Amino acid sequence: MIIKAQVLRNFYASLLRAVGTSSEDAEITSDALIDADLHGLETHGALRIPPYIRIAREGVLDASGKPALEWRKGAVSLINGNNGWGQPAAFMAVNEVISHAKTHFVGAAGIKNTNHIGTCSYYAKMLARAGLVCFVTTNSPPNMPPWGGSEPILGTNPICFSAPTPDGKVIVIDMATSVVAKGKILLAAERGESIPEGWALDKNGKPTTSPKEALEGSQLPVGGPKGYGLALFAEIFSGVLTGANIGTNLHSMYDKILNPSGVGAFMFAIDISPFGIEQVNAKMEQLIGMVLGSELAEGYQRIYLPGENSSEIAEERKVKGIPMSPSILEKMNQVAQELGVNPLKPDEGGA
Pairing of strands 76-80, 68-73: antiparallel
Distance CA 130, CA 26 (A): 24
The answer for residues whose C-beta is within 8 angstroms of residue 206's C-beta and 6 or more apart is none
N- to C-terminal Cα separation, the chain: 9
d(CA 265, CA 298): 40
Neighbours of 23 (CB within 10 A): 10
Q: How far is the CB of 6 from ligand NAD (least distance, A)?
A: 22
Nearer to ligand NAD, 76 or 180 (CB): 180
Q: C-alpha distances in angstroms, 132 versus 47, 105, 169, 307, 345?
A: 31, 9, 12, 16, 41
Q: Closest distance between ligand NAD and the C-beta of residue 102, in Å?
A: 26
What is the β-pairing status of strands 106-114 and 76-80?
Answer: parallel
For residue 266, the cross-strand partners are 110, 137
| CA-to-CA separations, 190 to 4, 17, 187, in angstroms, rounded | 22, 26, 5
Q: Indicate the residue among 133 and 344 with the shorter CB distance to ligand NAD.
A: 133
Minimum separation from the CB atom of position 124 to ligand NAD (A): 9
Q: Which is nearer to ligand NAD, 75 or 263 (CB)?
A: 263
CB nearer to ligand NAD: pick between 239 and 349? 239
In this complex, which beta carbon is closest to ligand NAD, that of residue 41 or of residue 63?
41
CA–CA dist 335, 346 (Å, integer): 16
- In whole angstroms, the minimum distance from the beta carbon of 345 to ligand NAD comes to 29
Shortest distance in whole angstroms from residue 236 CB to ligand NAD: 16
Min dist. Cβ of residue 346 to ligand NAD (A) = 28
Phi-psi bin for 247: left (phi > 0), alpha (psi -120 to 50), beta? left
Residue whose CB is less far from ligand NAD, 117 or 332: 117
Shortest Å distance, C-beta 311 to ligand NAD: 8
How far apart are CB 41 and ligand NAD at their closest, in Å?
Answer: 5
CB atoms closer than 10 angstroms to residue 50: 15
Residues that bind ligand NAD (CB under 6 A): 41, 44, 116-121, 138, 140, 156, 158, 160, 172-176, 180-181, 183-184, 304, 306-307, 309-310
How big, in percent rounded to 5, are the helix, strand and coil portions of the chain?
A: 45, 20, 35
Q: Which helix (H) or strand (E) holds 208?
A: strand 207-208
Minimum CB distance to ligand NAD smaller for 117 or for 336 = 117
Nearer to ligand NAD, 19 or 175 (CB): 175
| 98 Cβ contact partners less than 8 Å away, ≥ 6 residues apart | 107, 126, 127, 130, 132, 269
Which uninterrupted H or E stretch holds 194? none
Minimum CB–partner distance for residue 343 and ligand NAD (Å)? 27
Smaller CB separation from ligand NAD, 97 or 185:
185
